Amino acid sequence: MKVIKFFLTMCVMVCVVGAMQVPNVHAQRRRGRATTRTTNRASTATNNATRLAAIETARTEVASQIKTLSRFLYLYGRVSKSLDDVTAEARATATEAAQSGVGTRGVTQAVERNRQQIRSNFAGVRAGVDALDARFIGIPELAAARGELTNARLAAQEAEALVGRDRYDDAGRRLLDAVASLTTILQQVK
């Protein structure tokens, strides 16, 4: 009898201790889930903040590139017109000088220096657009704008090539196309 009583007491104690642990296990699970949900919410909020910051940085860089290109085009318009005139005049003078035997080396060198400076400026413009394209690669939210950015990059490359062939007016028009593509990006990325 004592054995049965002891056995029953032990069973009751095991049941009581077991019953006390079951709610604690549930409570721990609930807390674990709540912590996980809170952690997930926190990480989601952090990811959203990082994503929004990356988008805002990209928009700022695109706007800065548009400003740079617009200023360049404003100044380039006057320079390209005078460079076209000087180039035409230098060619005419070189033709006359070749026929008459008079040297025009100084004028030709000055025109060539100006051409090299313009080519260098266009290379810098293209490098700026290429750098912008490189920044967009790692941001999935900006994937939709990559097409327009590719258009802008190609327009800058074509403009640089046109300047290399002394087609200054056409080069300026291609840079205007690059500005238009960059402006479209600003409209797409919000």
Q: Which residue blocks in the chain are alpha helix, DSSP H? A: 2-100, 105-136, 146-164, 168-188
Quick one: average pLDDT of 47-60?
Answer: 83
pLDDT at 111: 76
Average pLDDT, the chain: 75
Q: What is the rounded distance in angstroms from the CA atom of residue 107 to the CA atom of residue 114?
A: 11
- Kind and range of the H or E run holding 143: none
Query: Has residue 59 got a pLDDT over 80?
Result: yes
Residue type, 129: V
Instruction: Give the rounded percent of residues in the chain with a pLDDT score beyond 70.
Output: 69
- Looking at residue 9, what is its pLDDT? 44
- Would you say 76 and 58 are in contact if contact means Cβ atoms under 8 Å apart? no
- Each residue of 70-94: pLDDT tens digit? 999 998 888 887 777 777 777 777 6
174 pLDDT band, cuts 50/70/90, is very high
At 120, the pLDDT band (50, 70, 90 cuts) reads very high
Architecture of domain 55-188: Up-down Bundle (1.20)
Please report the DSSP string for 120-141 in residue order.
Answer: HHHHHHHHHHHHHHHHHTT-GG
Closest C-alpha among 109, 93, 83, 78 to residue 167: 83
* Higher pLDDT, residue 96 or 73: 73
Nearest residue to 178 (alpha-carbon basis) of 44, 29, 70, 99: 70
